[in-house]
């Protein structure tokens, strides 16, 4: 495995890659030794651009293991526009599976490619911030950051 580490405004982001794709992203308490490859460095550059408000989407190769259902949820997460968070219920409706809210929330929680597969863009039905493995303060920061990038402004976000 290969690792690149980015000092970001919300902590040290660890980018994990193999020879073909980025396979995990996160903010671990214990950092691995940096051992980059071309892909992890490509992703690091794209994340720099994201944090500098120059990029909203990521196009580096990425993959994570999961069931067919989880893959569908993660694909749908990538279709949520930056700066426009939606509820789990709205995500279930978009997926034409309105009774699968809990299963969708579970798949969302198993996402190992946070930010690139933007699980942080899913909020509670009442607008509350819920469930983000990197901490709700990071989720709030990411949503506010994206709102500024899309000129929606913070005032439209209710958290």
Choose the catalytic residue: 82, 86, 92, 119.
119
Cα–Cα distance for residue pair 8/89, rounded to 1 Å: 31
CB of 121 closer than 8 Å to CB of 85: yes
Q: Please report how the helices 101-109 and 68-77 are oriented relative to each other, as an axis angle in degrees rounded to 10.
A: 80
Secondary structure, 3-state, 100-130: CHHHHHHHHHCCCECCCCCHHHEECCCCCCC
Cα–Cα distance for residue pair 134/139, rounded to 1 Å: 8
- 23 catalytically annotated: no
User: Longest Cα pair distance anywhere in the chain, in angstroms?
Assistant: 43
Query: From start to end of the chain, where are the E strands?
Result: 2-8, 11-17, 22-26, 86-87, 122-123
| Enzyme catalytic residues | 119
């Amino acid at each position: 495995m290969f690792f690149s580490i980015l000092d970001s405004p919300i902590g040290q982001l660890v980018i994990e890659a193999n020879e073909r794709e980025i396979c995990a992203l996160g903010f671990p308490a214990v950092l691995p030794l940096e051992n980059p490859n071309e892909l992890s460095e490509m992703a690091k550059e794209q994340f720099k651009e994201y944090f500098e408000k120059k990029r909203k989407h990521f196009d580096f190769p990425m993959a994570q293991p999961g069931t067919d259902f989880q893959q569908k949820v993660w694909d749908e997460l990538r279709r949520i526009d930056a700066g426009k968070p939606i509820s789990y219920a709205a995500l279930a409706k978009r997926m034409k599976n309105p009774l699968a809210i809990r299963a969708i929330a579970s798949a969302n929680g198993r996402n190992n490619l946070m930010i690139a597969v933007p699980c942080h863009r899913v909020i509670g039905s009442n607008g509350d911030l819920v469930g983000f493995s990197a901490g709700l303060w990071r989720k709030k920061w990411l949503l506010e950051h994206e709102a500024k990038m899309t000129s929606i402004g913070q005032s439209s976000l209710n958290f």
